[in-house]
């Protein structure tokens, strides 16, 4: 029997003028995690919040905090986010300091609803796997689950040497930076390959998907591809009934 999909509402789409109420509504509505997007204005063209906000949210909710760092040199902030109460600490393999110097996105996200254009064909990148493994070990050493995020231009095969050290693999179906962007089809193949890798190797990491997820179309497609956790911002918080949106997403199974 398929396991229920975990649901992680993305707080970036919530009404920040009623933050406590927004957190409480999804907690009572049955969310599994609370997804927090941390952006620095460098790795992505947007700026959100940092460890103090995570600490405040940790006091507001019993939900595990699924912290997604879209920042340069995330290890520099590892102690602060661990002390703030992060349960999952997800870093981008493409970010400087994670697996080497990093590399820029071929497409930059641009506000709610779009990017600068179609993404070019993905090409292999230079990754220092020893450094990446050390990054993941440092996260786990602070008592958090180690998450690794892949942009649409990064292939699963580029990180397979370290998947034994990953607790959560976050496949992005948009270029990170802004909520409300349209779902990209290309990463569905990455989700499928990740699911096949798990079956073939008995791997235990959770496949999470983030970007343009909603219950009526993209959520089912991600679930069929092998997603085990769904992040949804607009797909939950911008719906007429966020609780009903959570329930609809939870009904999806692999």
128 is annotated as an active-site residue = no
Res 113: pLDDT: 62
pTM score above 0.85: yes
Question: Can you tell me the mean pLDDT for 54-81?
Answer: 98
Average pLDDT over residues 43-52: 96
Q: So where are the chain's domains?
A: 6-111+126-250
Give the pLDDT score at 1.
44
Residue 32 C-alpha from the chain's centroid: 14
pLDDT at residue 188 greater than cutoff 80: yes
Six-digit token pair at 152? 């649409």
- The region, left, alpha or beta by phi > 0 then psi within -120 to 50, assigned to residue 177 is left
Would you state the structure tokens that stand for residue 198, as one six-digit string? Answer: 């798990």
Q: Is 210 a catalytic residue?
A: yes
* Lookup: tokens for 165: 């050290």
Give per-residue pLDDT as tens, 139-171: 999 999 999 999 999 999 999 999 999 999 999
Across the chain, where does the E strand assignment appear? 6-9, 34-39, 65-70, 88-92, 145-150, 168-172, 206-210, 229-232
For 28, 50, 87, the CA distances from 55, given in Å and listed in that order, are 20, 9, 11
Q: What is the pLDDT of residue 250?
A: 92
Angle between helices 51-60 and 19-28 (to 10 degrees): 50
- Give me the CATH topology for the region 6-111+126-250: TIM Barrel (3.20.20)
DSSP run (H or E) holding 82: helix 78-84
Catalytic residue among 37, 40, 66, 153: 37
Catalytic position from the list 32, 40, 66, 210: 210
């Amino acid at each position: 029997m398929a396991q229920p999909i975990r649901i992680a509402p993305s707080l970036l789409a919530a009404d920040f003028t009623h933050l406590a109420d927004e957190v409480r509504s999804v907690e009572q509505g049955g969310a599994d995690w609370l997804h927090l997007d941390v952006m620095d204005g460098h790795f992505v063209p947007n700026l959100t919040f940092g460890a103090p906000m995570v600490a405040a949210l940790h006091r507001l909710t019993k939900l595990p905090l699924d912290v997604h760092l879209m920042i340069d040199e995330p290890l520099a902030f590892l102690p602060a986010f661990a002390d703030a109460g992060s349960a999952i600490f997800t870093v981008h393999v493409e970010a400087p300091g994670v697996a080497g110097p990093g590399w820029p996105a071929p497409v930059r996200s641009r506000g709610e609803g779009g990017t600068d254009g179609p993404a070019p064909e993905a090409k292999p990148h230079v990754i220092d796997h020893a450094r990446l493994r050390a990054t993941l070990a440092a996260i786990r050493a602070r008592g958090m689950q180690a998450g690794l995020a892949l942009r649409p231009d990064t292939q699963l095969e580029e990180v397979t040497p370290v998947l034994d050290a990953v607790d959560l693999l976050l496949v992005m179906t948009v270029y990170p930076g802004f909520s409300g962007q349209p779902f990209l089809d290309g990463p569905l193949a990455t989700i499928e390959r990740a699911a096949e890798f798990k079956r073939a190797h008995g791997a235990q990491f959770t496949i999470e998907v983030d970007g343009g997820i909603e219950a009526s179309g993209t959520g089912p497609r991600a679930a069929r591809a092998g997603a085990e956790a769904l992040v949804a911002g607009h797909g939950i918080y911008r719906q007429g009934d966020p609780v009903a949106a959570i329930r609809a997403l939870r009904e999806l199974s692999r």
